[in-house]
Structure 1
Amino acid sequence: MRKRWLTGLICGILAMSSLTAPPAEAAAKKFNMSYLYFGKTSSYVGQVDRTKGSLNVVSPNYFDLNEDGSLKITWKLERSFIDEMHKRGIKVVPYVTSHWKLDIGRNAMANRDKLSTEIANAVNQYNLDGINVDIEGMTETERDAHTDFVRLLREKMPGKEVSVAVAANPNGWTKGWHGSYDYGKLAQYADYLMVMAYDEAWAGDPTAGPVASIGFVERSIQYALKQGVPNSKIVLGLPFYGRLWKSDGTFKGAGVSNVRVPTVLNKYGANVVFDGATQSPKATFTVKESDEKLTVGYNTLTAGNYELWWEDERSLKAKLRLVQKYDLKGAGSWSLDQEEASMWNYFSLWLNGLYFTDAQTHWANSEILAMVDKGWMLGTSSTTFAPETALTRAQAAVILVRAMGLQGVTPTETAKFWDVPANHWAGKEIDLAKQYGFINGAGDNVFAPEREVSREEISAMLARILDLTAPTDGQTPFADVDPNRWSYASILAMKENGVINGYEDATFRPFNHTTRAQMATLMSRIATQLEAKSVK
C-alpha cells in the first residue's frame, strides 16, 4: 500500500535542478474528447471516471434521426449522467447521427432549418453543452446543405459548442462520402472538426491492414490544414479498436475492441510483431478445432487462421506526438469502453507533449500533469520527470515564486547569499523568495540552494505563504515532532488546516526529504489558495 503523506488542498509547480535557466511557461493544455456508445448507460459514469480526468468533453449517442430527417432522442439520454459530468467539469455534447443511412441524411439536410431548431431546443431543454454533428454516408451532392446545416446550428446555439466529425481524407477525394465535407467552410462555423483518422482498413475490407497507419493519420492532418482549417480547430480522432481477418474470408475487418485484444492473443498464443512502416501492431494466430471458441464483438472465433491489427501503447503514442508536431487543438476518440484502462496512465501526458516514461504509472501522475499544465513544473528531460528525486531549496524557491505569479517581478535588492552567484539559474527567484518571506537563508549569508528540502521546511514555507497559524490549544499531532522544535507551530498549523497529514504509524518524519512527486501533490492541493494570493 503506497503512503501518501500529503493530503488536503493545493495545485502548484516545480523547476528542475538540471535547468540552467528558469523554465518557460507551459503550453495550454490540449483538448480531449471521446464518444460514448458502448455499454449500459449505468456504466457511463464509470467509463468517464476511468479516464482519470483526461476529458474535457464527452459525446454520448443521445440524438438519432427519424426517417424524415427529424430529430429522434434516444433512450440513452439521462439527466443524472449530464449532472454528474457537470459536477466533474466535463461538458456533455451529444452527437447526432444517421447511422450511415443515405436517405435519412438527405432528408435531414432537405429539412435542415427545422432539424437545427429541434436540436437547439433539445440542447437547452436537457442542459447540454452543444452538439457534435456526425451525419455520415452522404455524398458531394449534400456538401453545401451540410455546411449550411452547421451554419444554422451555430446561429441558433450561441455560446454552445458546435463541432463536426469529418471523414479523414488523406487522398483528397471529392466524390462520395469524403466529398460531403467542405472542411474550410465547416471550420468557419464549427468550434472544431473532429477528423476521424481511422478506418483506413474498414469493416468488409478484403485486405488486412492497420486501422490507422501513421502515414494515413499524418496525411489526414495535412489535408485539413491545406483546406484552410486552423490547427487550433483540428481535433485528431483516434481509434480504440482494431480489425480482424480470417484466411477463409468469413471475417473481413471485423471490429475488435482494444480491451479484448490481450485475451485473444493470450488465448491462442499469437505471434505479435510491430510494423515499423505503419507504426501499428499486428498479430497472427490459429484457432484449432479443439480450442475454446471466444466471442469477440459480434463474432465467434471458429477454427482457422487469423490476422489482427489494432492499437497499442506504442502506436497510440506515435499518433499523440502528431498533436504536438502540428500544434493541434487536441484529440478525440472512438470510443470509450473499448480502450485498455492502463492507456489513461500515459494518454494525457503524451497528448500534452509530456513524454514522461517514469510518471505514467506513478501514484502522482495526475498531480504532475496538473503542475506542468500550470507552468510550475517541467520534466528533468523530454522523457523523464524524476518524481522520486528529492526537491532542492533552489527548486522550491522557483516553484513558490511562480505559484505566486512573481516571475515577472524584479527583486528590489539581491539577498547577497555567498553561495548564490549572480549567474545562478535560480538567482532571481531566490532573491524574490527571500524578499517576500517565502524562504529564509540557512544562516551566515548561506542559502544552500542544492540542499534537499525536508518535510518540516516545506511545512514552514507553505504555512508562511498561506498565513496559517496553529491553535493555542493544539495537541502534539505526531510523536516524533518535539513541541519545542522551531517547525512545530508550522507543522501543527498545516495539520490542523488539513493540508498535510503524517504516516500511518502516527509519525511525521520531519527530517525526511520532500520528493518532486510529493511537492507536485502538495501544490496541487492548495492551488486555489495560492492563486487567490498571487500577483494578478
Structure 2
Amino acid sequence: MSMHMKKYIKGAIIGLSLIGLTLTSSPAAEAANHKFVMSYIYFGHPDKYIEAVNQTNGSLDMVSPSYFDLNPDGSLQLTAALDKNFIAAMHQEGMKVVPFLSNHWDRNVGIAAMNNKEALVKQIAKAIETYNLDGVNVDIENITGKEKDAFTQFVQMLRAAIPAQKEVSVAVAANPEGWEGDWFGSFDYAALGKASDYLMFMTYDESYEGSDPGPVSSLPFVEKSIQQALKYVPSEKIVIGIPFYGRYWKSDGSIKGLGIQNTVVDQLVQKYGGKKVFDENSQSAKASFVIPAGDPGTSVHGKKLTAGSYTVWYENDRSIQAKLSLVQKYDLKGAGNWSLNEEADSIWDYYTAWINNSTFRDIIGHWAESSIQFVSDKGWMTGTASNLFQPNSSLSRAQAAAVLVRMTGATLDQRSSTSLYWDVPANHWAAADIRIAKQEGMIGGRADGSFGPNQPVTREELAVMLSRVLELTPSTSGTLKFSDVGRDRWSAEAIRSLADYGIISGYKDGTFRPKQAVTRAEMAAMMQSVDKLN
C-alpha cells in the first residue's frame, strides 16, 4: 500500500490546501483578476466596528466609516465615531480607511458646502493627514443641477489637495434613464470620473421611502445603470453599490418603504410565520408577514412595528450574487456595500468568490452549497462548464478517480508498470488519474478488463473506494445500520465503517440504496466529511 494512503488521515489533510495551488491560477493572475470591494460603515457602535469587519472573512479592501459630516455653514464636522484605534487596526490588516463626507440628504447643508469649498477642502486634507486616513469618499446628495459645476470643481480641488497615493472617490446617483432633473443634474459623470479615482454608483433605492412596494435594487435596474454609466466613465472607474438593506410597506399605507436590515427580515419572517419568495423577473427577494393584535411588536431602526400586514423587498444571497456577477460581465472595478452591520452573515462565506466569478451559479440555495464551495476551494472538484457544477448530475467513475487522486495528492510512480484499461485511451481527460487510482488500489476495474469511465458510480462503489483510501478500521459493531445492506453484501463492511465515522448516511426510511448512482453534490458532501476526520 502506498504512503499516500497510509498517511492520509494523520497528515495529508493538513497539506491539501497546498495542492490547490497547482490547480488554480498563479498568484499574479489572481491579483490581476481581483475586483475591488469596499463597504460603508454607518450603523452600529464604533466599539464594534472591528468585530463587524472581522466577520467579512477578509473580503474587503477598504472601509468607509462615517467620520466626516458637514456643519450648517458647510464646514467640516468630525463625528464622534472617529477612532484612531480602529484606523490603526485596519492598517494592521492591510485595509484602507476612507471616510465618507455626507450632508445626509440635507440640500441646504450641501449647497453651503459648495459655497465654502475652498475652506472645506483644506479642512478635509488636514483631517486626512492628522488621522492617517487614506482619502475621502464624497457622498453629498440631493443638491441640484445649479450646483453641478461647483460640485465638479470641489472634487477637482480635493484631488489637487490630497496626496496622489490617497483616494478621492465620489458616490453618485444611479441613472438608468439618463435623467437630468432634480439631484441627478448635480453629477457631471464624465468630469467626475476624470477627477476621481472611481465613482461609486448607488445602484439601489429603485424603490424608496414614499414609493409603492417594489425591489430596492432589481437586476435590470442595476444593469441598465451600468450601461448608462459606461457612456461617460471607463469600466475600471465604476463601482456598483450593493444594498445590505431592504424596504418595508404596511398594507394600511401608514408605512411606505422604510429601511430594514437584511439580517432582520429572516428574523421577522420566522417570528411571525411569514413567507419568503424570490421574484425571478427582478432577481430580488420578497417577504410578507402579519403581526397579530396584542403582539408587543418589533423595533426596526428605532421604529416600532405594530399589528398589521407587511411586505418587504430585500436582498438575499441569490440576489446579491446576481448583481455581483455584473462586475465581471462589464469588467468593472468592483462593488461597494451600504452598509456593514445590516447584512446577513452568510454572504461573506462566498462574497469574494462571487465578485471574482469563481463560484458556480447553479449551487445557490442547494442543500450541498457549502460542501461544493468547500471542495472547489480545495481544488478537489471542479465545475463541468463555466460557472456550472451540475450538483444533481451523477458522478462518473472517471470523475471519482480524479477527485480521489486530487484529494490524496497521489502521484504516479515512474517505476510502476501499471497499465490503463482497454476502454481508457491515453488521451482520455482522466487517463492519468485513472492510472494513479489503479496503482494506489483506490478503484478496481471490471471482470472483462474494462474500467467504464463514463459509467455512474453507485453509492456502494464509492463507499468501498473511500474505505480503501482512508484505510478505516473495520466496523466491529456488527449492527445492520441500513435495512437494505445485509451482512453478506460485498460492500457491507465498507458502508458500516464509513457510517460509523459519519462520512456517509442513509435515507429517512432507513435504507442506504447501495445501487443508486452518486450525485456530484453527494460526493462533495462526503469529501467535506472526510476532511473533518482530521
Q: Distance in 1 between matches of 2:157 and 2:404?
A: 55
* 2:171 counterpart of 1:182: no
- In structure 2, relative to structure 1, the CA distance for the partners of 1:391 and 1:70 (3 Å cut) is farther
Q: Distance in 2 between matches of 1:297 and 1:46?
A: 20
The residue number in structure 1 matching 2:251 is: 247
* 2:16 counterpart of 1:13: no
Q: Distance in 1 between matches of 2:88 and 2:20?
A: 29
* 2:88 counterpart of 1:80: no
Q: Distance in 1 between matches of 2:140 and 2:315?
A: 25
Question: Are the counterparts in 1 of residues 317 and 346 from structure 2 also a CA contact under 8 Å?
Answer: no
Shift of 1:54: 0.3
Question: Are the counterparts in 2 of residues 244 and 252 from structure 1 also a CA contact under 8 Å?
Answer: yes
Structure 1 segment 328-367 matched on structure 2, within 5 A: 328-356=332-360, 357=363, 361-362=370-371
Cα deviation digits, residues 197-221 of structure 1 (max 9, x gap): 001111222x111111111111111
Shift of 1:151: 1.0
Cα deviation digits, residues 450-496 of structure 1 (max 9, x gap): 66999xxxxxxxxxxxxxxxxxxxxxxxxx9xxxxxxxxxxxxxxxx
Structure 1 segment 56-205 matched on structure 2, within 5 A: 56-157=61-162, 158-205=164-211
- In structure 2, relative to structure 1, the CA distance for the partners of 1:127 and 1:362 (3 Å cut) is farther
* 2:41 counterpart of 1:43: no
* 2:295 counterpart of 1:283: no
- In structure 2, relative to structure 1, the CA distance for the partners of 1:70 and 1:390 (3 Å cut) is same
Shift of 1:67: 1.4
- Aligned residue pairs, count: 416
Q: Which moved more, 1:90-99 or 1:274-283?
A: 274-283
Q: Distance in 2 between matches of 1:8 and 1:25?
A: 21
- In structure 2, relative to structure 1, the CA distance for the partners of 1:327 and 1:517 (3 Å cut) is farther
User: In the alignment, residue 180 of structure 2 is paired with which amino acid?
Assistant: T
Q: Distance in 2 between matches of 1:109 and 1:397?
A: 66
Q: Distance in 2 between matches of 1:3 and 1:316?
A: 39
Q: Distance in 2 between matches of 1:452 and 1:99?
A: 68
Structure 1 segment 98-497 matched on structure 2, within 5 A: 98-157=103-162, 158-205=164-211, 207-227=212-232, 229-356=233-360, 357=363, 361-362=370-371, 379=383, 381=385, 382-384=387-389, 390=403, 392=405, 448=435
Cα deviation digits, residues 53-91 of structure 1 (max 9, x gap): 100010000111111111111111111111111111111
- Aligned residue for 1:238, secondary structure, equals strand
Question: Are the counterparts in 2 of residues 97 and 135 from structure 1 also a CA contact under 8 Å?
Answer: yes
- In structure 2, relative to structure 1, the CA distance for the partners of 1:280 and 1:127 (3 Å cut) is same
Question: Are the counterparts in 1 of residues 46 and 81 from structure 2 also a CA contact under 8 Å?
Answer: yes
Q: Distance in 2 between matches of 1:253 and 1:393?
A: 51
Shift of 1:393: 7.1
- In structure 2, relative to structure 1, the CA distance for the partners of 1:363 and 1:146 (3 Å cut) is same
Q: Distance in 1 between matches of 2:122 and 2:304?
A: 44
Cα deviation digits, residues 409-431 of structure 1 (max 9, x gap): xxxxxxxx99899968799xx9x
- In structure 2, relative to structure 1, the CA distance for the partners of 1:75 and 1:395 (3 Å cut) is same
Question: Are the counterparts in 1 of residues 216 and 313 from structure 2 also a CA contact under 8 Å?
Answer: yes
Shift of 1:295: 1.4
Structure 1 segment 513-532 matched on structure 2, within 5 A: none
Shift of 1:378: 6.5
Q: Distance in 1 between matches of 2:110 and 2:307?
A: 40
- Aligned residue for 2:111, secondary structure, equals helix
Q: Distance in 2 between matches of 1:48 and 1:450?
A: 44
- In structure 2, relative to structure 1, the CA distance for the partners of 1:297 and 1:179 (3 Å cut) is same
Cα deviation digits, residues 151-207 of structure 1 (max 9, x gap): 1111122111111111111121112111111111111021111110001111222x1
- Aligned residue for 2:276, secondary structure, equals strand
Cα deviation digits, residues 476-528 of structure 1 (max 9, x gap): xxxx9xxxxxxxxxxxxxxxxxxxxxxxxxxxxxxxxxx9989x9xxxxxxxx
Structure 1 segment 24-35 matched on structure 2, within 5 A: 28-35=33-40
Q: Distance in 2 between matches of 1:189 and 1:452?
A: 63
Question: Are the counterparts in 1 of residues 288 and 311 from structure 2 also a CA contact under 8 Å?
Answer: yes
RCO higher in 1 or 2 (8 Å CA, sep ≥ 6)? 1
Gaps of 5+ in 1: 399-416, 431-445, 455-479, 481-514, 521-536
Cα deviation digits, residues 124-149 of structure 1 (max 9, x gap): 11111111110111111111111111
User: In the alignment, residue 216 of structure 1 is paired with which amino acid?
Assistant: F
- In structure 2, relative to structure 1, the CA distance for the partners of 1:447 and 1:239 (3 Å cut) is closer
Q: Distance in 1 between matches of 2:169 and 2:348?
A: 24
Question: Are the counterparts in 1 of residues 382 and 389 from structure 2 also a CA contact under 8 Å?
Answer: no
User: In the alignment, residue 178 of structure 1 is paired with which amino acid?
Assistant: F
Question: Are the counterparts in 1 of residues 381 and 403 from structure 2 also a CA contact under 8 Å?
Answer: no
Shift of 1:299: 2.0
- In structure 2, relative to structure 1, the CA distance for the partners of 1:153 and 1:326 (3 Å cut) is same
Q: Distance in 1 between matches of 2:64 and 2:390?
A: 33
User: In the alignment, residue 37 of structure 1 is paired with which amino acid?
Assistant: Y
Identity of aligned residues (%): 47
- In structure 2, relative to structure 1, the CA distance for the partners of 1:393 and 1:334 (3 Å cut) is closer
Shift of 1:351: 0.9
User: In the alignment, residue 206 of structure 2 is paired with which amino acid?
Assistant: E
Q: Distance in 2 between matches of 1:115 and 1:383?
A: 51
Q: Distance in 2 between matches of 1:272 and 1:250?
A: 22
- In structure 2, relative to structure 1, the CA distance for the partners of 1:34 and 1:394 (3 Å cut) is closer
Q: Distance in 2 between matches of 1:203 and 1:354?
A: 36
RMSD: 4.0
User: In the alignment, residue 194 of structure 1 is paired with which amino acid?
Assistant: M
- In structure 2, relative to structure 1, the CA distance for the partners of 1:448 and 1:94 (3 Å cut) is same
TM-score by length of 1: 0.68
Shift of 1:276: 1.6
The residue number in structure 2 matching 1:405 is: none
Question: Are the counterparts in 2 of residues 393 and 452 from structure 1 also a CA contact under 8 Å?
Answer: no
User: In the alignment, residue 142 of structure 2 is paired with which amino acid?
Assistant: G
- Aligned residue for 1:46, secondary structure, equals helix
TM-score by length of 2: 0.69
User: In the alignment, residue 162 of structure 1 is paired with which amino acid?
Assistant: V
Q: Distance in 2 between matches of 1:140 and 1:191?
A: 23
